[in-house]
Chain A
Amino acid sequence: MLIHPFEENPVHCRLMLLSIPLLNRGAGGSRPPSTALNMSLENTAAPQPPTDFVRLEARGLSCVRNERTLFGDLSFSVGSGQVLQVEGPNGSGKTSLLRILCGLSLPESGVVHWDGAPIQDVRSEYGQALAYVGHRHGVKGELTAIENLAFGYALTGGQPALRPSEAMARLGLEGLEDVPCRSLSEGQRRRAGLARLLVGQYHLWILDEPFTALDRAGIAAMETLVREHTARGGMVVLTTHQNLHLEGCALTRIGLPR
């Protein structure tokens, strides 16, 4: 059902040099939050295959932790070629939101839709399309980066993209193929975790503070990867406190209140 967008027209992303505030909170729920973005997609001249309209949609999400409401009635929508940056102070529920989007935890109310269906109903398709790199990035210390990447790819079982060694090279980990990740530095382990994004063809990247522990070159490399991914029609949801340099991407920000 889900066809990956990687061979498709990269132009439409560039045509959307706009940043649309998608935060549609509180009483304004009558208007579908994604109207503006849908229109801009329809305005692009090039005919788009229907898979380009695969969307990640959050409808009326709310999250309660320790009897405190972190956010309520949060709705937004992410389409192909778009980057959604979740902002907010520490403890505002950014990670909770990403975990809800991944399907790891359930929202107090609301649903997350992938391609028009709740993610719990399309777990298999969604799992193939989704790559999640969280705070704990899932890198096994006893395994080398190559082994970690090969396993990460085997687990999703979709179409291969880059070979593990190539993915490592993209993140500046050349020459560290045989080193157990335990002996790598924190930043290098983070890079190894992020390299997983490149070994399979994942439509949606969900990244929780991907720039933590990365040096300047690492951040730049990561920003390039995000740009390339969206140019291919992929979508990215990320949290960061950094100012992103994502020229040419349709960047949307939503802010979570304290």
Chain B
Amino acid sequence: MSVAAGLTGFTAVVRRDLVLYFRRRSEIANPLLFFVMVVTLFPLGVGPEPDRLASVAPGVVWVAALLAAMLSLETIFRSDFDDGSLEQLVISPQPLSLLVLAKVLAHWVVSGLPLVVLGPFLGGALFLPAKAMWTLVLTLALGTPVLSLVGAIGVALVVGLRRGGVLLSLLVLPLYVPVLVFGASAVHTAASGLPVGGPLALLGAMLALAVTLGPPATAAALRISLS
């Protein structure tokens, strides 16, 4: 299989998935709405004092982003599994890892990227200091792809089960914790005016690890789910 043919399959999957997500917008809008609602409800719950909100803002935004990412996870493979498209992906001559990466990329564009874009607005609503804004955007930009890539492994494992939702949370949530810890702590550190190189580098390392090891693991899990 030549590189060009592999790229054809990759771009075909990305394009098709983006078209599909666009045609069922509501499915993908739901987690985003959840993200916005959780963050905006927080001031009502803990009180409107700017100092208190600013101190919890990094954690709140990150927890909400993490849960929103998890809510949208099942859309990666569910409909493809139900209508048989997944079988076609598996038996196609293209490397399955590459096709999986394409699917995760398309999914991140519609579910993770909006979180990155919305992040600073919601951070602002929680009085997050302006000097921490860029760090928030950076951590989300590095962290949400990890959430999608790691989550894809979990979805691939449970997609054949009828009620895999609970199992999915149990599988995936522990793997999300490091991303949450380093993401939120980087924003905290930035808000205190300290250098954030360390946690950002660790998030970058997690992303590198997830991009290289996630798709093959997902591909293997898909083959198991389908057999």
Contact = CB atoms under 8 A, between A and B. Distances in A.
B26 interface: no
Interface stretch (A133-141, A163-171, A229-237): A133-141
Given A138-B83, A143-B20, A151-B16, A157 B5 contact: yes
B24 interface: yes
A132 B91 contact: yes
A244 B49 CA distance: 77
A138 B8 contact: no
B30 interface: no
Contacts of A125: 93
B33 interface: no
B16 A152 contact: no
Given A103-B91, A130-B91, A157 B83 contact: no
B23 A135 contact: no
A151 B13 CA distance: 8
A155 interface: yes
Given A136-B84, A158-B93, 11 more contacts: A127-B91, A127-B93, A132-B88, A134-B84, A137-B83, A138-B85, A138-B87, A151-B16, A152-B88, A155-B12, A155-B92
Interface in B21-40: 23-24
Nearest to A137: B84
Contacts of A143: 16, 19-20, 23
Contact of B89 (A128, A155, A158): A155
Contact-residue size bin, chain B (C-beta under 8 Å from the other chain): 20 to 34
Given A132-B88, A138-B84, A138-B85, A156 B93 contact: yes
B91 A140 contact: no
Please provide the 6 A-B residue pairs with the shortest distance between their CB atoms, ordered closest to farther.
A136-B84, A127-B93, A154-B12, A105-B227, A138-B84, A142-B23
In terms of DSSP, what is the predominant structure of the interface of chain B?
helix
B51 interface: no
Contacts of B23: 142-143, 180
A156 B9 CA distance: 8
Contact of B93 (A128, A141, A142, A147): A128
Contacts of B85: 138, 140
B93 A105 contact: no
A151 B89 CA distance: 11
Interface string B76-108: 000100111101111111100001000000000
B226 interface: yes
A158 B8 CA distance: 11
11 contacts: A124-B93, A127-B94, A132-B88, A134-B84, A140-B20, A143-B20, A152-B88, A155-B92, A155-B94, A157-B5, A157-B8
B87 A104 contact: yes
A104 B12 contact: no
A141 B94 CA distance: 23
A138 B91 CA distance: 12
A136 B93 contact: no
Contacts of B161: none
A162 interface: no
B1 interface: yes
